[in-house]
Amino acid sequence: MNLTGLIHFFVFPGLLFAVPAAWFYVWGERKAVARMQRRIGPPLLQPFYDFVKLTGKRTPSRHGIEADLLRLWPAISVLSMIGAIAMLPVFPSGRGFSGDAVLLVALLELPSICFILAGFTSGSIYGEIGAIREAVLSVANNLVFLLSIVTIAVTEKTFSLTDMAGGSWNPGHWIGVFGILLCIPAKLRLNPFSTSSAEQEIYSGPLTEYAGAALAMWELAHGLEWVALTGFVATLVMPAGGPWWFHAVFFVVVSFAQVLLLSTLAAATARFTLQRAIRFYWRWAAILAVLDVSAAIYMRYRG
Amino acid sequence: MNIFSLIFQNLRRGPVSFRLPHKHECTSDQYRGLIVNDAERCVGCGLCAYVCPTAAIVVTRSGDNYSWAYDAGKCTFCGRCLERCKPHTLSMESQLPPLYSTQGELINVLDMVRKRPVRPAPASPAATGNPATAATAEAAPATPAAAATEPAV
């Protein structure tokens, strides 16, 4: 890894930017939903306070492989998310490699897999139910998510993130972005796709048995998921030209606009049952995605 | 789409909740706030501590000294202590209790000397003209300790 890669991983858009941004986005979501419900909402530093408070908690001790695994899953999630954020082509520098979009998709999916594994590892019945729900929902939304990325890739004739980014005027590109936007609520476990962590039914789902520093890592991983997914969409719609600071500002503004949009959706909707969530993705969204990817492939070989 | 118009209205109206610590301006006249003890009039009988269901009031005696301790964190503001306080030295504040962040922060301890209610001195035999009473009075000289009576507990 060269110096630029290290800067991307540790400074911007990686660790140094991503962690405060994660707390800021989580605060933005909580604050926006609170205002929509006529509450004041948390202060700006509340997610940071929560993190610090959780890391200082004494937790019930577990022993053996189970304890190690329960600590491992959130650590993998945090690292994969920082890796995914560092890969985002915020600046059109031509870095990256051919096919790095596939690696990004894999990294974006790791927290969901870890979330499922955490539920089964915890041994809690609520954790297992939440893990099953997350697994089913993941299969449902990933069909549309992957087809949307394939649509953009076919439209732009590449699987390189740098080439896929840059706000092409091709309709297939924008329909693909719309498809990704449709999947983000499910990937972030927001209403109406919050069945896997439905606190009124199964407490926190897979995180029911978590406490202290491990739970703090999960909260951080969730915030980083916000940064990665909204940042991914922001890079896909980012204009190609302009100075470096414009790209940085555009990246943050568009990401935060998505946070507000998704918060409005979460505040306006009730939780879907698992069947309704699957029906939404596999019937309506999948039809749209299949038609879109078919049209993109047809257009490519036609012209 | 009613939900979106509701959300828009909520954003326009502003929040109805408040950020703590929040000071309420007024409470009702009969609001049950913190227990206040008038140290000047308290006789240290300990009835308040006896009837307190949560042991928020503790009275500790040591000879003629006693301490009256009140922990607002344990108090349920039921008012039983006020009902049983015969000298009516206890009262409840009409303001909200202050917010506190440390356990035991609102504990109020009063160290007092126990007051022994003095019976009115019996009338002098000369005044009453009763020789039997006069003889008894001469046989047992009255002392302050003997004259003092224990309060009814």
Domain hosting residue B74, numbered range: 23-115
| B84 within 8 A of B48, measured Cβ to Cβ | yes
pLDDT of B144: 42
Which of B121, B142, B119, B124 is closest to B134 using CA atoms?
A: B124
For residue B13, the chain A residues in CB contact (below 8 A) are 38
| Distance in angstroms between the alpha carbons of the first and the last residue of chain A | 39
Quick: pLDDT tens for B29-87. Answer: 788 999 999 988 898 899 999 999 999 999 999 888 999 999 998 999 999 999 999 88
Q: Does B3 touch chain A (CB under 8 A)?
A: yes
Residue A199 burial (CB count, 10 A): 11
Residue-wise pLDDT for A114-124, tens only, equals 999 999 999 88
Where is average pLDDT lowest: A63-67, A72-76, B23-27? B23-27
Each residue's pLDDT tens digit, B90-122: 999 988 888 788 888 889 999 988 776 656 666
Structure confidence at residue A297 (pLDDT): 84
Task: Name the domain count of chain A.
Answer: 1
Distance from CA of B5 to the nearest CA of A (A): 10
| Nearest chain A CA: its distance from B4 CA (Å) | 7
How far apart, in whole angstroms, are the C-alpha atoms of residue A283 and residue B19? 45
Q: Phi and psi of B35, rounded to 5°?
A: -80, 130
Q: Considering the domain boundaries, does residue B137 fall inside one?
A: no
Query: Residue B150's pLDDT band (boundaries 50, 70, 90)?
Result: very low
Whether B15 maps to a domain, the answer reads no
Is residue B90, in this structure, part of any structural domain at all? yes
Residues of B in contact with A37 (CB under 8 A): 10
Helix pair angle (A100-122, A65-87), 10° resolution: 160
Over residues B129-136, the mean pLDDT reads 47
Q: Which residues of B touch A268 (CB under 8 A)?
A: 3-4, 7
B7·A41 Cβ contact <8 A: no
User: pLDDT tier at B138 (50, 70, 90 boundaries)?
Assistant: very low
What is the C-alpha separation between A87 and A231, in angstroms, rounded?
10
The partner residue sitting opposite A36, judged by closest CB among B11, B17, B18, is: B11
CB pairs under 8 A between A and B: 29
Tokens of A267: 């505040």
Question: Which residues of A fall below an 8 Å CB-CB distance to B?
Answer: 34-41, 264, 267-269
- For residue A240, the SS3 value is coil
3-state secondary structure of A205: helix
d(CA A214, CA A60): 12
Q: What is the pLDDT of residue B153?
A: 40
The whole-angstrom separation of Cα B89 and Cα B110 is 13
A264 interaction partners in chain B (CB closer than 8 Å): 4, 7
Per-residue pLDDT tens over the stretch A234-268:
999 988 777 888 889 999 999 999 999 999 999 99
The per-residue pLDDT for A18 is 93
Give a yes or no: residue B139 inside a domain: no
Q: Quick check: A31 and A42 in contact, CB under 8 A?
A: yes
Q: Percentage helix, strand, coil, to 5, in chain A?
A: 75, 0, 25
- Highest average pLDDT, of A134-138, A292-296, B98-102, comes from A134-138
Comparing CB atoms, the residue among B3, B10, B19 nearest residue A38 is B10
Question: How big, in percent rounded to 5, are the helix, strand and coil portions of chain B?
Answer: 25, 15, 60
- Closest by CA to B98, choosing from B120, B123, B132, B73, is B73
Interface test with B, best of A31, A40, A45, A191 (most B CBs within 10 A): A40
Pick the residue from chain B with its C-alpha nearest to A38: B15
pLDDT at A138 over 60: yes
- How many separate domains does chain B show? 1
Quick check: B15 and A36 CB within 8 A? no
Contact B74, B83 (CB under 8 A): no
Q: Provide the domain limits for residue A193.
A: 3-302
Q: Which of A83-87, A256-260, B131-135 has the lowest mean pLDDT?
A: B131-135
pLDDT tens figures, A207-242? 998 999 999 999 999 999 999 999 999 999 988 777
Residues A119 and A29: beta-carbon distance below 8 Å: no
Spatial separation of the C-alpha atoms in residues A121 and A127, rounded to whole Å:
8
Based on its alpha-carbon atoms, the radius of gyration of chain A, rounded to whole angstroms, reads 19
ipTM: 0.75
Task: Find the CATH number of the domain harbouring B96.
Answer: 3.30.70.3270
B19 touches chain A (CB under 8 A): yes
**Residue B132: inside a domain:** no
- Sequence-ordered list of residues with C-beta below 8 angstroms from that of A186, at least 6 positions apart, any chain: A137, A138, A140, A141, A193, A277, A281
